[in-house]
Structure 1
Amino acid sequence: MEDFKSLSLIVGKDFEIDDVLYETLLRARLVEAFAYLLDHNISKMMNILYRTDVNEEKLKALLISNSSLPSAEVIADAYISRQKEKIETRKKYSR
């Protein structure tokens, strides 16, 4: 639960998403946000992914290998995965 709170706080810095209680709802909101950005403001999306340190080559490979899924879902999952990695790294080195 603490990790989800951390994830929610981090996501809140990049997106205006109301408090959500479940990771599945957070993911759904992020998918909506990335779908909107893909259609209306791709430079903002790229900026968010760059600041988040989502590996561009890894993301391209994910988009190709998951071509049956909507791009926004793949991007949201990569974003969440990277944020979780950062949380784990912070926990590891803050002990």
Structure 2
Amino acid sequence: MSLSKMVGKDFELPEHISETQLRDVLIKAFEYLVEDDFSKLVQILYRADVDQNKLKQLLENAENVSSGEVIADAYLARQKAKLDIWNKYSKA
């Protein structure tokens, strides 16, 4: 499974997208969700199992970075960790 395929469960994405492009799309999506659909944002982060307390701390300490960037980076980091675990145990 690829990162874009995993993220594609929560967002409509092109099939072949670089990680940089993926991050850019997610930043815009999360910025929109923060402003216009907070309940959907919470659902996505809950489903992805993003640590609420860690995210809150990251947002409080973010300087010169949009909340969309902070959330996108935390979301991607969690999805990568899940992907690493999935790949490790699916080969065993």
Q: TM (normalized to structure 2)?
A: 0.92
The alpha-carbon deviation at position 28 of structure 1 amounts to: 0.2
2:62 corresponds to which residue?
66
Partner letter of residue 89 of structure 1?
I
Runs of 4+ in structure 1 deviating by more than 4 angstroms, as ranges, are: none
2:13 corresponds to which residue?
17
Q: TM (normalized to structure 1)?
A: 0.89
Mapped to 2, the partners of 1:55 and 1:84 lie a distance apart of 14
Q: Write out per-residue CA displacement over residues 44-85 of structure 1, whole angstroms, 9 at most, x where no aligned residue.
A: 000000010000000011111213210000000000000000
Mapped to 2, the partners of 1:19 and 1:30 lie a distance apart of 15
The alpha-carbon deviation at position 16 of structure 1 amounts to: 1.2
The alpha-carbon deviation at position 17 of structure 1 amounts to: 1.9
Aligned length: 91
Contact 1:20 1:26 in 2 (8 A): no
Identity %: 51
Where does the alignment leave 5 or more consecutive residues of structure 2 unmatched?
A: none
Where does the alignment leave 5 or more consecutive residues of structure 1 unmatched?
A: none
